[in-house]
Amino acid sequence: MNAFLTWLVLLAPAGAAVVITLTALRRPATAARWSIGAILVAFAASLVLFRAGATGETAVVWLDLPGLRVDFGLRLDPLSLLMLLVVTGVGSAIHIYSWGYMRGDPGLPRYFAGLSLFSFAMLGIVLATNLLQLFVFWELVGVSSYLLIGFWYERPAAADAAKKAFLTNRVGDFGFLLGIILVWSVLGTLNLAELSAKLRAAPPAWGAAATAAGLLVFCGAVGKSAQFPLHVWLPDAMEGPTPVSALIHAATMVAAGVYLLCRLFFLLNAPALEVIAWTGGLTALLAALLALQQNDIKRILAYSTLSQLGYMVMAVGLSGAGGHPAPAMYHLTTHAFFKALLFLAAGAVIHALHHEQDIWKMGGLARKLPVTFWTFLAGTLALCGAPPFSGFFSKDTILTLAWEREHYALLALGVGVAALTAFYMFRLVLVAFTGPAKSQAPDHAHEAPPVMTVPLVALAVPTLLAGFWGIDRGYARQYGAEAAAAHGWAAHLFEPFAHAPMAAWGGLLAAAAGFVAAWTLYRRAVSDPLPGLLGAPARWLRDRLYFDELYAALIAATQDLLARVVAAVDRWVLAAGLVRGTAGVFELTGRLLRHVHTGNLQTYALLLAAGAVVLLWWTLAR
């Protein structure tokens, strides 16, 4: 029964994608029904499995060769069960919201097909039992992301962003694939359970390849979770429809990198974890800084996503050898709730303003869009780590982890980023939702229809309450660590302050400082005062520290230049020089031998045979 339900979770969205593609490409309502129905079925089945606490593995053999056996399997354990709920739960809300947001778009069936394909691929990552299967679904989420970012493919910006996202991810996947091959060649299997058993039984089996393999696998996560230095694709990915940004580029797919690291935590050794921690920390800081000077509501959220992903990756790294990365998964989960909420609320704003995304053309929206405003505010508070919102608890576990590991540099970095987070998020809230209207656009804004506001409210519930649900203990169970729960809500709320006061107060005060700064600067602002205060650095931040330009120049100077040279060689040396040269020799010979070169078939046959004989003679006589 459990095996059946697990297959159902995975295959329902796949079925929907196939049915829509084959039969419903011209029938929007049918397509929406299939897609939404499938994700709801998957959600319901996940709930049943979760309630039953089902664990276990089921698999069919996908490839079977000597020394290389690849299963196509499904694995249920605490980690995948919780992640299933996140993906299908948040996914359900976003699927339903999409039906309102995308209504009337001529490509709607294609949109829902893409969404279902994505759900299938993401669930495949969650349930995978071996490395190659992980890679397969890893690529499939990449391609569904490509299709959905480029959904409005007629807009050059969207088409370019889709391409950029896919290619950047491919650079990460290059490392991931090599890591998989390396793990296989050293340990002789791709199955996750076998790998972890082998490593537990005989860690030296690993040898010197451990760090290399860990870092190569991490490359995959760097690409998918948009960590520095491959972070450039995520902001551009905001060209896709907003619900896509919410589902794929905030809640689930970009978090897949973190999930991968937690799933393969047993592969990572201390040096690799140190690199991972610093990569995450740097990404968190860099993205928070870049967010300060963005004016597009979705791009601000995109950078904040990057920054939060940095926190999660940092948490994985901080867990250290012998620890467990439950804090990273905890933050991933709460982040999925509140960031999806923020994006959907931003979508409601964009919808109301007829696709205006510049916050400096908004203002005073709190009164016009009350539901949107209050839910957005809830998301913002959770993101900033204000108690009792879920984000407070999850962020606190990460800061506490840094404290406990005595990694004070990253603790300071985490606290600093918390201040920046509060600053840029309240800049967004204050400019867009309060103060005077800064253009004509907000005058005619209307609250979105219930099909969009109900998902907002539905996501606001876990945004507020998920900190009290014991999600962290659920994840800790995966790694065999049981923590005692605090009794009662109040005790739970105050527990962080008692347990690791430096971390809890540090994060809270930093957020407060960020809020105060934003309040002072932006409460009544009609244009951004920060460039005046900061000068040139503000411009650098607005221009995203010129990473895109740098990479473009780098690619032009290396790969593109090489391609240019090689293409020229191919054309002028190999084809023109050698071939035409050979042709010239043949022609000359032909002229000399004109009397045998009659041009009829028999002569050619004779020459063919003669040539063969000569070659043969030459071969044998030596």
Among 43, 99, 111, 166, binds another protein (CB under 8 A): 166
Contact call for residue 589 and another protein (CB under 8 A): no
Contact in structure between 61 and 71 (CB atoms under 8 Å): yes
Using DSSP's 3-state secondary structure scheme, residue 483 falls into coil
Among 51, 104, 154, 201, binds another protein (CB under 8 A): 154
Contact in structure between 137 and 121 (CB atoms under 8 Å): yes
Find the part of the chain contacting another protein (CB under 8 A) among 375-383, 432-440, 499-507, 555-563. 555-563
Among 3, 181, 486, 513, binds another protein (CB under 8 A): 181
Contact in structure between 258 and 79 (CB atoms under 8 Å): no
Phi, psi dihedral angles at 69 (to 5 degrees): -120, 125
Contact call for residue 559 and another protein (CB under 8 A): yes
Nearer to another protein, 171 or 366 (CB): 171
Q: Which long-range contacts (CB under 8 A, 24 or more apart) does 164-170 make?
A: 164/232, 164/233, 164/236, 165/233, 165/234, 165/236, 165/237, 166/142, 168/223, 168/230, 168/232, 168/233, 169/142, 169/145, 169/223, 169/224, 169/230, 169/233, 170/142, 170/223
Number of H helices, E strands in the chain: 28, 2
Nearer to another protein, 128 or 413 (CB): 128
Site size toward another protein (CB under 8 A) is: 69
Tell me which H or E stretch contains 545.
none
Nearer to another protein, 179 or 414 (CB): 179
Contact call for residue 188 and another protein (CB under 8 A): yes
Contact call for residue 588 and another protein (CB under 8 A): no
Among 44, 48, 54, 212, binds another protein (CB under 8 A): 212
Contact call for residue 606 and another protein (CB under 8 A): no
Using DSSP's 3-state secondary structure scheme, residue 289 falls into helix
Nearer to another protein, 408 or 586 (CB): 586
CB atoms near residue 115 (< 10 Å): 34
Contact call for residue 567 and another protein (CB under 8 A): yes
**Interacting positions 52-81 with another protein (CB under 8 A):** 61-69
Contact call for residue 590 and another protein (CB under 8 A): no
Smallest distance, Å, CB 424 to another protein?
32
Q: Which long-range contacts (CB under 8 A, 24 or more apart) does 140-144 make?
A: 141/224, 141/248, 141/253, 141/256, 142/166, 142/169, 142/170, 142/173, 142/224, 144/114, 144/117, 144/118, 144/248
**Interacting positions 105-144 with another protein (CB under 8 A):** 132, 135-137, 139-140, 143
Nearer to another protein, 46 or 169 (CB): 169
Contact call for residue 583 and another protein (CB under 8 A): yes
Phi, psi dihedral angles at 76 (to 5 degrees): -110, 125
Among 566, 588, 593, 606, binds another protein (CB under 8 A): 566
What's the rounded Cα separation, in Å, for the pair 59 and 75? Answer: 8
Contact call for residue 189 and another protein (CB under 8 A): yes
CA angle 469, 258, 126 (to 5 degrees): 75
| Spatial CA neighbour of 109 closest among 193, 16, 184, 171 | 16
| Spatial CA neighbour of 373 closest among 442, 462, 468, 308 | 442
Among 44, 47, 54, 186, binds another protein (CB under 8 A): 186
Contact in structure between 422 and 513 (CB atoms under 8 Å): yes
Find the part of the chain contacting another protein (CB under 8 A) among 148-156, 255-263, 266-274, 340-348. 148-156
Pattern 409-448, another protein, x by CB under 8 A: ----------------------------------------
Which positions lie near another protein, rule CB under 8 A?
25, 61-69, 132, 135-137, 139-140, 143, 150, 153-154, 156, 159-160, 162-163, 166-167, 170-171, 173-174, 177-178, 181, 184-189, 191, 193-194, 207-209, 212, 559-560, 562-564, 566-567, 570, 574-575, 578-579, 582-583, 586, 608, 611-612, 615-616, 619-620
